[in-house]
Amino acid sequence: MRSLKEHKNIFLLKLFSVNSIGVLLRSLLGLVSQKLIAIYLGPNGLALVGNLRNALALFGLGSTVGIDQGVLKYQSQFKNDDVELKKLYATSLAYSIVGSIIVCFILFFWASYWSQFLFKTEQYDYLFVILALTMPFTAVYNLCLAIINGKSNYKKATIVTFSTYTIVTIVIIFTVSFYKISGVLLAITFTPIAQLLTLLFFARNSLLLFTNLKIRFYAFYKNALFAFIIMSCAAVFFSNIVDLQLRNYLINHLSVEEAGYWTSMSGLSNYYLSFMTGVYSLYILPKYAKMNSLKVFLIELKRIYKLILPLFGFMFIILYCFREHLIRLLFSEEFLPMGDLFKWQLLGDIVKIIAVVIAYQFIAQKLWKLFIVTEVISYILLYVLGVYFVEKMGVEGIVFAHFLRYLIYLIIVLLLVSKIFKKHKSIDESTD
């Protein structure tokens, strides 16, 4: 018979493999659209597209108020209790409705402001009016996806997300060749509609869960989900705001082209780091939630690192050695200067993986104050170090700042997590 350790390793490997298939398919589609944008619009266009995608992530977060991780946690905990699940869904939907109304209001009445802020012109204000009307679809989509993942139906989750990416990519292919930058921006704005279509075709049963629900805030879930809302909002808000500010800083102090190189490097980084997304949410989070011993935590940490670090280490070496060929394949000759960004970006990303695997302990234990403090410190470090090193090193300074930021973040997280387990130990000893 297999040992418990072997079963855990097999489950983790299986989850990583299933998640990897979905991420690989989505990444291929994303890279196809990125290649087309690079050919037709160059670094300038990619910088503007990056701004819109950051904004879309922010508004998407606002519409769902970041409850996805909480839904995943309690869906798993009460998977055999229909009464509790209905309360969870009702409260989640209530939060999403409130979030969607606020986001729709902000987008509709300040459409010109967002256009000016993101694109330095008001001519794209219609994009934000469209988003105001369609953003509730994103709220429902994210909620349904969290429920599907919470039921461990990873195959359906992969089909839904892949189908959404396929629709958006097809729209980008048709619009970029005819309408250039306006077409691409409109295609990306089409994302919430694509999300609704995929739910109707592939996940109608998930949508039916919301019928006959008494939409209200149930006290337990209202409070329990609030901690996840705070943590998710902090992470996504600071991430996208700092990205926007740094990109605009590069545009104003260097050039739109340099901003485009960094946007392209960040986009590539997001694609390969997406392979960790399912592992964080579906394996690490539930595991950590049950831990109160440093010894058990370290054993689990070792198991996770033994699987993922060799894989990512090997992948990063290949990416670095063949970076020029990769740039020509994924972008164009015009993007070759971004080859200088690979070294510090890849080093920063490997440190990020090491740190985030540890930091998920904050989310698992709902230590939202510690999580927010560390996130704020992390993004302040990125912005301050980014601005400083851009002055010294040009655009390469921003990826060097990325590496330093995660090195400091790792040290902070190690100290805090060790303190948490020492506190658990002292409490256990006092109750013996």
**153-211 pLDDT, tens digit each:** 777 877 888 888 888 888 888 888 788 888 888 888 888 888 888 888 887 777 777 77
Q: What is the pTM of this model?
A: 0.75
Ranking 178-182, 290-294, 387-391 by mean pLDDT, the lowest is 290-294
269: nearest Cα among 50, 22, 62, 60: 50
Q: Is residue 390 a contact partner of residue 251, using CB atoms and an 8 Å limit? A: no
Q: CA torsion, points 104, 378, 297, 346, in degrees to nearest 10?
A: 100
Residue 283: its pLDDT value, please?
65
State what percent of residues in the chain have pLDDT above 70.
86
Q: What is the mean pLDDT of the chain?
A: 81
Map residue 94 onto helix, strand or coil: helix
- 215 SS3 class: coil
Distance, in Å, from the CA atom of 9 to the CA atom of 287, rounded to the nearest integer, reads 13
The per-residue pLDDT for 153 is 73
Residues 6 or more apart whose Cβ sits within 8 Å of residue 356: 276, 280
How many helices (H) and strands (E) are present in the chain, helices listed first? 17, 0
Q: Tell me the pLDDT band of 297, cut-offs 50, 70 and 90.
A: confident
Scan for tokens 């592992």, then name that residue. 279
Residue 135 amino acid letter: M
Domain ranges of the chain: 4-427
Please check whether residue 158 is in contact with residue 277, taking contact to mean a CB–CB distance below 8 angstroms. no
- Would you say residue 300 has pLDDT above 50? yes
Rounded Cα distance, 326 and 332, in Å = 9
- pLDDT score of 102 more than 60: yes
Cα separation, 56 vs 412, whole angstroms: 31
Q: What is the pLDDT of residue 350?
A: 93
DSSP track, 324-385: HHHHHHHS-GGGGGGGGGHHHHHHHHHHHHHHHHHHHHHHHTT-HHHHHHHHHHHHHHHHHH
What is the structure's pLDDT at 1?
Answer: 43
User: For the purposes of burial, counting CB atoms within 10 Å of the CB of 321, is it exposed (0-12), middle (13-18) or buried (19 or more)?
Assistant: exposed
Q: What angle do CA 343, 348, 354 make, to 5 degrees?
A: 135
pLDDT tens digits along 110-140: 999 989 988 888 888 999 999 888 888 888 8
Ramachandran quadrant class, 159 (left: phi over 0; alpha: psi -120 to 50; beta: rest) = alpha
Half-sphere exposure of 79 (CA within 13 A, CB side): 11
Task: Check whether 53 has a pLDDT greater than 80.
Answer: yes
End-to-end CA distance of the chain: 36
